[in-house]
Amino acid sequence: MLLGNKKLPLWKDLVEEFLLEKELNGASERTLSDYRYYLERFFNGFTGKTEADLRKRVIEFFSGKLAPATFNIRRAYLKSFFNWCLRKGILSSNPINFKRRKDEGRARAVPKEVIKKLLELPNRKTFTGLRNFTLILFTLDTGIRPKEALSLKVKDFNLEGKEVEVPTFYAKTRKKRILPLSVPTCVWLKRLIKARPKDWNNEEVPVFCNREGKKLSVASWSQTLERYSKKLGYKITPYDLRHTFAIYSLREGMSPFALQRILGHADLNTTKRYLALTQADLAIEHRKSSPVKLFLSSRAGKIPGKLF
């Protein structure tokens, strides 16, 4: 493959070298997996031989109606790889020369009525149904990331102490954190663990596994929620459950600082997106806290029969 006047190794060789260097520099398994996923998607079917071909592929990869979050994460991983190629003298310029898209950061909370109906759908008499119900409840109780939740083992749970540890190895930010659990969630977690076949190795088999005791993938969990969504007539994704936890927690009085620690955000700016309340929320908060009533006498504050 030729880019400019330079003859380069196949892109697969470059990706492997890049990932090896990332691993040696301490990148987590999750980070390496994400890099591989986006780089393989980008280069899939690419047969170009020049930097012009590469720039054309970049335009194709970022075209279409991409959500800001999708656009930005693709940009981040590819820009990092191409910067590495630039430092190695493989490219003369980075083809990712455009800015991030502005993300309004308006997270969505699934309505309470929909969540209640969602929790009624899994058949808790089966292992799969019990797992689905418990995983939904667990996410709504902790706001844990899907990939983190699906990696947890029995040893990570302290149900008597009503807490779960997200180990450094599983955490996206590579920082261990302890999450509190509510009593109902602990009860259903105990039932799920008790329902596991006795010959399963609790040290190896994740708590939220499939019927064969194999690790459940995020894609598989997404498909399950997609099936439930069709029955509900309301789309719900694994991350919608995380967002729902965050928004309802703030509405119920949790401080942004506590939410930041529970969600595992590196800084408060990421958590602030959940503070973007709807207009209805603002109206409710205004009615509760407007200081106008403090300044008016009872006579002056009397509401007239007609406002206009």
Q: Could you please report the per-residue DSSP string of 180-230?
A: E--HHHHHHHHHHHHTS-TTS-TTTS-SSB-TTSPBPPHHHHHHHHHHHHH
User: Does residue 249 contact residue 256 with C-beta atoms inside 8 Å?
Assistant: no
Cα separation values, 153 from 78, 209, 217, 280, Å: 33, 10, 15, 41
**Mean pLDDT, rounded, for 42-64:** 89
Res. 207: pLDDT tops 80: yes
Which tops the pLDDT comparison, 51 or 173?
A: 51
Contact 38, 78 (CB under 8 A): yes
- For the cut 90, the answer to whether the pLDDT of residue 291 exceeds it is no
Q: Is 302 exposed, middle or buried (0-12, 13-18, 19+ CB in 10 A)?
A: exposed
| pLDDT the model gives residue 307 | 39
Q: pLDDT tens, 241-290?
A: 998 888 888 877 777 778 788 887 776 666 666 665 434 455 555 666 66
Q: Average of pLDDT values for 227-253?
A: 89
Q: Give me the pLDDT at residue 268, please.
A: 66
pLDDT of 18 strictly over 90: yes
Buried b (16+ CB within 10 A) or exposed e, 42-79: bbeeeebeebeebeebbeebbeeeeeeeebeebbebbb
Lowest mean pLDDT among 34-38, 74-78, 167-171, 192-196: 167-171
Mean pLDDT value of segment 46-72: 86
What residues pair up with 215 in beta bridges, in sequence order?
209
Domains annotated on the chain, with CATH: 2-87 (1.10.150), 112-275 (1.10.443.10)
Nearest to 245 by CA among 143, 149, 145: 143
Decide if pLDDT at 121 tops 70: yes
